[in-house]
Structure 1
Amino acid sequence: MRSASRSMRAPPAPAPEPGAPRSDWRTLARLLPFLWVYRWRVSIALACLVAAKVANVGVPVLLKELVDAMSIKPGDTMALLVVPVGLIVAYGALRLSTSVFTELRELIFARATEGASRSISLKVFRHLHALSMRFHLERQTGGMTRDIERGTRAVQALISYSLYSILPTLIEVGLVLGLLALKFDALFAWITAGALLFYIVFTIVVTEWRTQFRRQMNELDSSAHSRAVDALLNYETVKYFNNEEFEARRYDESLERLQRAKIKSQGTLSLLNTGQQLIIAAALVGILWRATAGVAEGRLTLGDLVMINAFMIQLYIPLNFLGVIYREIKQALTDLDKMFNLLEREREVADAPGAAELKVATGTVRFEGVDFAYDPARPILHGVSFEIPAGCTVAVVGASGAGKSTLARLLYRFYDVTGGRITVDGQDIRAVTQQSLRRAIGIVPQDTVLFNDTVEFNIAYGRPGATREEVEAAARSAHIHDFIAATPKGYETMVGERGLKLSGGEKQRVAIARTLLKNPPILIFDEATSALDSANERAIQAELKSAAQGKTALVIAHRLSTVVDAHEIVVLDHGRVVERGAHAELLARDGRYAEMWRLQQAARDDAGEPAGA
């Protein structure tokens, strides 16, 4: 059995997220499959883009013809009535067609942009839920949510800037350079091309240099956001220790570092913008000087001068924003890279290839020589073996840190055992799908966390789609219906962030109702009544006993009085089973369990509580 279990050991913990970002091309390669789904829309949108740019380049050409047509011989009234009017109508039609094709492009491609963004966001959301508990215990919620938020926006920004700004500008540059070279001497095209090349190289070099400052600014922004969210989530702890000013100082320190980074980023942006304007101004002077000289020498018409000037304006207006666009694209790629890094986090606990659905016949659970360590240097469980027969209740007791709650996490497969195995009806839980395993188990945890929603939503979370009558029946079984009915909004009462509007006992009873509603064949009660007073504890204990009737139940308890009726009690000490047996049998042995029982009874007597069973 040992050799078989070793072959199914959990994979090593995932490697930490790499500090260096991946290449931009690799990030784009990860994005393309999400866009490929909409390839026909992309093709039609690109056709509209080309049509819009051809119409846009045609506008200055038609403007030249219109200006030249105004040189009319005296008395030529027909030319005055027909030629300019026809050119003006054509000019207006080209202007309109540019806008129409542009809007068509955006309308057609909107579904692709939003669809890709939605698909990526959903995939990240699913993947985060699939990651192990180790990842979620180590994560920084504020920073992670900010990374996901920026990554989702980055998809739209990247597509928008590349398809709506960079690509159209490149097409227009190609058309204009071709027209200048064909219609005039090549020097016009060379000046324009040289200026564009110099502009692009300058923009890319300076923007690449600036990226480090922008990345630093984003990291500081995420850090400040994480610190703020962490302090707000732990609002009560901050209040308990009167540390509002301490948290404010910590947040201000983060904001101060962020402010310095933003100022440095803005300074480098001003340098970039000034250099770009210098290049554009020099190119415009050179082109217009050449064109003006051509008109003076009679080689060019006034319409040619107007057309060249219009071309330059059309080219350099979008180029004015090239630095901003390139910076935003680089930033979008950086943000997208961070989100893709989340997608590449390995699942420490994954379904085995070809994993089957768990088939629950009787619900017998067995722990067979289970070893486990959260950290290899600090083992938690050492060869733990016991069985929970079908329809029986087995309690696990022991001091804090003995490994009791770890058993529940392993049974739920939040972690994989490092030695031995856990079976349900003889099926190794690592060989079945996690969904089917967790569907068969219900838990009332020691620390109950509720959604910031209604009481009804939180109880119905045990079985989404349950009717109000079923929810109320579960609430009655958990002895919380009367409390809910007495509130002004009843089951529509909001419980607040993490359920903080409810008391500890009320949250615990909501958790019990939620599990009773799920009604699974295997139950785990992890200190299920720890937040209740003695009177309610006895009432709930009776309900839990009734709920566990005929089910396989694992009860994890610190208070021994709650487990005296268990079919078997397993005593853990430093991750090892030191005793096992029924309550009376363990007391008769006068071992570790009997010692714990005497200590707790003495504590109850000192507190004036009624004695346990």
Structure 2
Amino acid sequence: MTRRHLPKVAGAVVLGLVAAAAGLAQPALIGRLIGAIGTDASLVLPIVLVVVLFLVEAALTSTQAYVMGRIGERIVYDVRSALLGRVLSADLRAFGAMRQGDVFARIVTDTSMLKVALSQSVAGIIVDAAMVLGGVVLMLLIDPLLLAVTAGCMTVASLVAFVVARRLRKAAQESRAIMGDFGADLQRALSALSTVKACRAERLEGSRIGGLALSARRSGVKVSALNALLSPSMSIGLQASLAAVIVTGMGRVANGSMNPASLTAFIMYLFYLVTPLVTLFMGIGQLQQGRAAIGRINELAAIEQEQDVLLPRSPQGVVAQSPDDVVASRDTVVYRHFGVDFQRVRFSYQPDEPTLRGVSFSVPARGLTAIVGPSGAGKTTLLQLLMRFHPVRGGRILLNGENIELIPLGVLRGLVGYVQQESTTLRGTIGENLVYGEAHVGPGEVERALWLSGLDELVSSLPRGLHTELGDAGLGLSGGQRQRLAIARMLVRRPSVLLLDEATSNLDSESELKLRQSIRNIAGECTVISVAHRLSTVVDADQIIVLDQGTVRDVGTHQQLLTTSALYQRLTSIQFQDNGRRALPATGKAGE
């Protein structure tokens, strides 16, 4: 990710090196200026050169800092964009294994540490190291003995600084991990705030998350303490070196083995090394913290991705290459009619716990097919496999005669619409929620989707209509209204197959009856597969699949299954008993 920016980083480093050279030349010129005092030599040129070097160093240093700041921001932008793409394209199972708060922390805060590590620290370390090395060489040319005295004092300080830097990296890694835990638990509590309040668990969550905040504070204090030790360790070494150099140098000046100008230049070089040495080891400390962040970023970047086409595509696919092949105009929508076939489909979330055990059934083009069964039978899993949220472990699923593993994901999910049991409503207007992800939706399609889902009267009664603002999670609409909005959002996509996962779970009886009729209307134009826990919603289905323990037990209409399927009879008798244990009549047409 950073390799593409290396030329710019190199250019900024060159600016810093030129600035360092200008800085290193100043003590030599000042020494010559001091040597010229008391002689007849002109002082104008040395003074002008010193002033020019001051200005050049200041200009180049500020320019280098600005360039590296821009490069750092660009690197962070690129990394965040790449991570966002990886997360949005991640395999759902792999993403579900990660805590969302920790993912948020890695994308937001860890990338900020990356900026410091890759732009400021690396460039600063190179420039400061070059300045230190250059200063040491020039000090060696002035007086090797004084350099040896300086090196003896600085070696001890440097060893201490390296030990502190290594401990700092480990402490930074622990601190980043704790911050990830804190962010994950905070997001968990905030996303379920109503549940927290209903269970009177405010104190419990406050104590638990507060404990993580305390751990984060302690780890942050430890990082700050270690980081703070880097600068004093070098400062003490420099002060000791300065004292030793002054005592030794003054003795050498007194016995005539060294002139005052050389001693002045040497001391100035020693002063000039103070800032680059301190910033060098501070940069090393920042780099160690950044390396901890880089490790966490790389872990997120390595998240397993959704595979697009799982099998080699046949030369002539049955399914169109683009969902835009559906004919649409301002006032009418024409759906293509696709059938679905499940052929010996097997799947398991855990290796030794199969969820589906060779499921086979066919869904005709157009019409309503319902899938019913006890909890845990694998009903929702079937829909998710058709959406390719998970890959099948055996068998295959055909859409219009073609294996869905041959169909690009973008095409498949344009042809198949999916309404989950708890579909998310996004912050924004009703209209924005309706056309979410769709660039070209005509007014006629929006109106039709609202009518089919039973939202037309609600929207028309609102003062701002489609421009009505909704809060997070659809705040401003009831549960049933949010569910109908989710159905309408799928309908504007003109799906050939519409999947409904208990779409009526949040509806009252009147709204349920209206939506049942809407579903029948939709089923006349496209294929509808509905997972139902409330059997009253599917008694008028063209076909009902009874699923139990990952296998198909029975297939038929409501009337047929009441006489042929013991499991279906048991499910209906449990759900439709009413005080006197009165079961639903054999005929259950919508509207009766």
1:612 to 1:566, Cα distance in 2 relative to 1, 3 A: closer
Q: Give the Å deviation of 1:64.
A: 2.0
Of 134-143 and 472-481, deviating more is 472-481
Q: Which residue of 2 aligns with 1:25?
A: none
In structure 1, give the amino acid aligned to 2:167: W
In structure 2, give the amino acid aligned to 1:570: I
Structure 1 stretches lacking a partner, 5+ long: 1-33, 74-78
* 1:86-105 matches, cutoff 5 A: 86-105=45-64
In structure 2, give the amino acid aligned to 1:315: L
Measured against aligned partners, the alpha-carbon deviations of 1:378-437 in whole angstroms (never above 9, x if no partner) come to 221111101112223321111222111110111111111122111212322223322222
Q: Give the Å deviation of 1:465.
A: 4.5
Q: Give the Å deviation of 1:224.
A: 2.4
1:174 aligns with 2:141: no
Measured against aligned partners, the alpha-carbon deviations of 1:130-185 in whole angstroms (never above 9, x if no partner) come to 22222233321112211222331133111233344211111112211222222x23
For the Cα contact (< 8 Å) 1:462–1:518, is it kept in 2? no
Structure 2 length as normaliser, TM-score? 0.88
For the Cα contact (< 8 Å) 2:131–2:276, is it kept in 1? no
1:133 aligns with 2:108: no
1:251 aligns with 2:194: no
Structure 2 stretches lacking a partner, 5+ long: 321-335
Q: Give the Å deviation of 1:111.
A: 4.7
* 1:12-411 matches, cutoff 5 A: 34-72=1-39, 83-182=42-141, 184-269=142-227, 272-347=230-305, 351-352=309-310, 359-360=319-320, 362-411=337-386
1:577 aligns with 2:536: no
SS in 2 for 1:374: strand
SS in 1 for 2:353: coil
Q: Which residue of 1 aligns with 2:420?
A: 445
CA–CA distance in 2 between the matches of 1:112 and 1:341? 23
For the Cα contact (< 8 Å) 2:380–2:531, is it kept in 1? yes
Aligned length: 571
CA–CA distance in 2 between the matches of 1:355 and 1:277? 67
1:70 to 1:466, Cα distance in 2 relative to 1, 3 A: farther
Q: Give the Å deviation of 1:587.
A: 2.5
SS in 2 for 1:367: strand
Q: Give the Å deviation of 1:302.
A: 3.7
In structure 1, give the amino acid aligned to 2:4: V
CA–CA distance in 2 between the matches of 1:252 and 1:192? 49
CA–CA distance in 2 between the matches of 1:296 and 1:483? 98
For the Cα contact (< 8 Å) 2:94–2:303, is it kept in 1? no
CA–CA distance in 1 between the matches of 2:156 and 2:442? 69
> Cα RMSD over matched residues?
2.8
CA–CA distance in 2 between the matches of 1:472 and 1:62? 81
For the Cα contact (< 8 Å) 1:445–1:525, is it kept in 2? yes
SS in 2 for 1:524: strand
Q: Give the Å deviation of 1:541.
A: 2.2
Q: Which residue of 2 aligns with 1:22?
A: none
1:71 to 1:506, Cα distance in 2 relative to 1, 3 A: farther
1:562 aligns with 2:540: no
For the Cα contact (< 8 Å) 1:161–1:329, is it kept in 2? no
1:43 to 1:68, Cα distance in 2 relative to 1, 3 A: same
In structure 1, give the amino acid aligned to 2:423: T
For the Cα contact (< 8 Å) 1:52–1:102, is it kept in 2? yes
For the Cα contact (< 8 Å) 2:419–2:503, is it kept in 1? yes
Residue among 454, 457, 463 paired with 2:432: 457
1:278 to 1:364, Cα distance in 2 relative to 1, 3 A: same
In structure 2, give the amino acid aligned to 1:189: L
Q: Which residue of 2 aligns with 1:516?
A: 491
Of 501-510 and 474-483, deviating more is 474-483
1:405 to 1:364, Cα distance in 2 relative to 1, 3 A: same
CA–CA distance in 2 between the matches of 1:569 and 1:133? 29
Measured against aligned partners, the alpha-carbon deviations of 1:193-218 in whole angstroms (never above 9, x if no partner) come to 45555443321222212433333233
Q: Give the Å deviation of 1:553.
A: 1.9
Of 550-559 and 110-119, deviating more is 110-119
CA–CA distance in 2 between the matches of 1:569 and 1:608? 18
CA–CA distance in 1 between the matches of 2:443 and 2:18? 58
For the Cα contact (< 8 Å) 1:450–1:497, is it kept in 2? yes
* 1:423-572 matches, cutoff 5 A: 423-466=398-441, 470-487=445-462, 489-572=464-547
For the Cα contact (< 8 Å) 2:116–2:290, is it kept in 1? yes
Q: Give the Å deviation of 1:286.
A: 2.2
In structure 1, give the amino acid aligned to 2:529: L
Identity in percent: 28
